[in-house]
Structure 1
């Protein structure tokens, strides 16, 4: 065994040379002369007893030498700083644990997840005052300077999330909390990037950072890494992050299934109609990372949107477009006719001014107060109609023509080319324009109702008789979006989230989540699944949808990966435990024993 395995400063053993002068002095000291005194002859004893006494006397003389020898050897050993290798947790006064709870830690192998193994290892590292930081989409400090019992209890309550993780931010937070003498232990699979810089910065600041990696499994992963929505359809992106070719079946449970074949690194894109009320889009068979094998797609339920169209000259293009929307229950009424019933959306199109009833306007305002919507379509005599606050435009009697339109980035008009057509010139008096003509006249505008009811007003400025947009295949798409928006029905984009995001509410709301019920003004989407707020007819879906997090096959972390400290696997790190204080204590005890011996012998 090398001296460095037992002593931190082996050069201190050179002090053992001080033993040589002691030995030489002991060997060269003069022997006492034997003098016979006849007057004491009667005190002589038998030979055996004399021999025994001479032995005891020699021991008494040699004992002092042994005391001195032990002292010199002890001092020499103390100078060499002897130590034992012990688990670092056994000697730390403060330990800061960073536990990776991101989605990739749910990867399974041998019946256990990476997270299970990481928590077990973190529990072994508990020592002294312990702080626990959890790496999720944003770091969480779940325990600060807790006892060993509290730390073990906290670690036992941790659960892996379905969110992408920010390990670098968690390490930075832990380094900020740790004192200079603290141990900082990171347990993770170290999948993904960005954490190396945080570790190197922590080590450069003088913190001792230990890395323990858990990377089993993950060679067979194929997952859903993205979803996009467009007019009742969902497009899923599937990626093979494994090391071998894979065959999977993708589809909604109970619906159409499609076979996908992927080489390592390949990406496939498939589009499906979203079932009414949504559903679970699943890859089968599953693999060692089950989180991205499933996407939870939320959609509006089966309740129809009751639409009232008031018109004296039916626009067949409009009624045809509305008829194509499965969610629309359309009623067409020709004024002046008394209208009864409740509606979600009221539309005014080609209404003769003298035939518009006050009751029609009151019904429209009642619809707004109930959270519904009102749409007013342009017509030549728009300025003569008494719409009041239902009309967002101060209309002139002039008709303009536009060859192009400026389209904003609102979801209602996104991706739609409104092209050329005639319109009623005027100035916007309320709300915001979504589409404008070249002279600034709004062609499409929206505004929230001012009565606090949550309703919405829409103005559509094209004159249909000379509008190319009515022939556009996206014309029905626009009106579907408009009706669902006016009725307060959330779009598919609004109903589907990525894990790691949050639901926010104006007041405290109780939400049913995949793991139980939570109450608050914000609810984290930490688990994949469906979330439903009390009193809300729509549920929302949350899915992982993160290509980086789905790439769970983590490279081995070595000293070359990140410099400046201890890097290893799940083995508990060892540190030197200084035995110098113990050796010094032994030396002092021997010196005290020597003094007692000299006093008993009478030399003191």
Structure 2
């Protein structure tokens, strides 16, 4: 027995003065009566003054006492906790298969609990960085076959999205989440659990996590000038951690349950980061970073303009090796990128654009800056209708690594265009594409 509001029991104190008042004897009063009246009393009658008999005699007092006790107990909100197993027809298992589950028999506990939670109709979701549905409304036998084939993966854990996905798969039933609840990304799983319970679903959280002696690479943050690597010591004692980053070898002393970092100049190419010490979970002792090699982009600028703005901008980049060609003399393109800007296409040699098109189909790129009297070629992803002189705000249509965190602002004139078939519009002024692209294969 438990009490929801223990303060309510104090209401029972009100019974004390009630009972005391009941048993207070009135002050004796002198009365005159005939002495012979005792002779007429019914034989066997006695004076009943016992405590218990007074209670039995006064029915009104008993009723009042019972009402007061019931009122006091109801204010205290009594409750009884009963251990029971909820059996439902539909069960969705949300399983954490991340690398952290591969320690101290944790994964075996996950499989054991998962098998114990199966019902007649089962669905299984893997809580990876992108939740994966492994089984939808399958039989118990199908679920057992999947569970018997599972192994931990070198992946992150996104329990929040996996739980939300489980809530979309059933309208009634039970959702069982089995994990060590070391969440690396995604929404808060407790918030997701509460949302499912608000829909009337039964949600069980089973924590199979155990403390493990482990050294781990927990994060790698790569920027152009430097790379920062985070190392964590999960031991209960200070550890000297032996680290190897490419050809660099270093020993890092890390306190119990603490994180230390190493910052290095970002290397080019593929670099291996490794903790050479052995522990209970070796999968998080290795990481890789990959950055572009220090190779310049060979660029050909085709132009007849005397303006040096674009040429100066391209030359200023240390990653670009620039060649400038003035039509009609245009070299055979063997560059990574060809840019046409402010050029006179009428003086180009016949077959120039066909040569460039073949060059693009081999995996290279060509860029056209818009201008009046654009040439007729399949290389251009839009049709140019003419120059439009009016104010317009340029909006981003697709966010990618080129347009992310970039605002194009507004213009007071622009070329009105129309996208060609299979073209992708990156940015536009109203309905008119400003930046567009297409793949020639």
TM-score bracket for the superposition, by shorter chain length? 0.5 to 0.7
Q: Deviations over 1:541-575 (max 9, x none)?
A: xxxxxxxxxxxxxxxxxxxxxxxxxxxxxxxxxxx
Check the 8 A contact 1:104/1:191 in 2, yes or no.
no
Choose from 191, 195, 219 the match for 1:225: 219
Relative distance call for 1:362 and 1:196 in structure 2 (3 A) is: closer
Relative distance call for 1:368 and 1:104 in structure 2 (3 A) is: closer
Relative distance call for 1:427 and 1:185 in structure 2 (3 A) is: closer
1:189 aligns with 180
1:533 aligns with none
Relative distance call for 1:331 and 1:259 in structure 2 (3 A) is: farther
Mapped pair 1:429 → 2:417: yes
How far apart in 2 are the matches of 1:416 and 1:176?
39
How far the C-alpha of 1:227 sits from its partner, in A, is 3.8
Q: Deviations over 1:326-361 (max 9, x none)?
A: xx6765545333643555422235757775444444
How far apart in 1 are the matches of 2:404 and 2:191?
40
Bigger relative contact order (CA 8 A; separation at least 6)? 1
How far the C-alpha of 1:448 sits from its partner, in A, is 1.5
**Which blocks of at least 5 consecutive residues in structure 2 are unaligned?**
1-82, 420-424
Relative distance call for 1:158 and 1:410 in structure 2 (3 A) is: closer
Relative distance call for 1:115 and 1:447 in structure 2 (3 A) is: same
How far apart in 2 are the matches of 1:453 and 1:196?
48
Relative distance call for 1:226 and 1:428 in structure 2 (3 A) is: farther
Relative distance call for 1:445 and 1:227 in structure 2 (3 A) is: farther
What SS class does the counterpart of residue 238 from structure 1 fall into? strand
Check the 8 A contact 1:101/1:159 in 2, yes or no.
no
What SS class does the counterpart of residue 215 from structure 1 fall into? coil
Relative distance call for 1:406 and 1:155 in structure 2 (3 A) is: closer
Q: Deviations over 1:256-276 (max 9, x none)?
A: 456666665546473543533
1:453 aligns with 440
Mapped pair 1:270 → 2:257: no
2:150 aligns with 158
Relative distance call for 1:413 and 1:145 in structure 2 (3 A) is: closer
Choose from 110, 125, 129 the match for 1:134: 125
How far apart in 1 are the matches of 2:340 and 2:195?
65
1:336 aligns with 328
Check the 8 A contact 1:430/1:447 in 2, yes or no.
no
Relative distance call for 1:314 and 1:291 in structure 2 (3 A) is: farther
Alignment of 1:220-299 (within 5 A): 220-225=214-219, 227-230=221-224, 235-236=227-228, 238=230, 240=232, 242=234, 248=241, 252=245, 254-256=246-248, 264=257, 266=259, 268=261, 270=263, 272-276=265-269, 278-285=270-277, 287-298=279-290
How far apart in 1 are the matches of 2:142 and 2:412?
72
Choose from 308, 313, 317 the match for 2:312: 317
TM-score, normalised via structure 1 length: 0.41
Alignment of 1:580-595 (within 5 A): none
Check the 8 A contact 1:307/1:344 in 2, yes or no.
yes
Q: Deviations over 1:436-461 (max 9, x none)?
A: 9xxx9x9x953224xx515xxxxxxx
Mapped pair 1:213 → 2:202: no
How far the C-alpha of 1:179 sits from its partner, in A, is 7.1
Check the 8 A contact 1:248/1:285 in 2, yes or no.
yes
How far apart in 2 are the matches of 1:95 and 1:353?
69
How far apart in 2 are the matches of 1:406 and 1:93?
55
What SS class does the counterpart of residue 209 from structure 2 fall into? coil
**Which blocks of at least 5 consecutive residues in structure 1 are unaligned?**
1-85, 399-404, 455-604
How far apart in 2 are the matches of 1:261 and 1:415?
39
Check the 8 A contact 1:314/1:350 in 2, yes or no.
no
Relative distance call for 1:369 and 1:98 in structure 2 (3 A) is: closer
How far the C-alpha of 1:235 sits from its partner, in A, is 3.7
What SS class does the counterpart of residue 263 from structure 2 fall into? strand
Check the 8 A contact 1:376/1:391 in 2, yes or no.
no
Relative distance call for 1:288 and 1:236 in structure 2 (3 A) is: farther
Which structure shows the bigger proportion of residues in helix conformation? 1
Matched pairs, number: 332
Choose from 120, 124, 133 the match for 2:112: 120
How far apart in 2 are the matches of 1:374 and 1:274?
30
How far apart in 1 are the matches of 2:374 and 2:191?
66
Relative distance call for 1:333 and 1:248 in structure 2 (3 A) is: farther
How far the C-alpha of 1:157 sits from its partner, in A, is 0.9
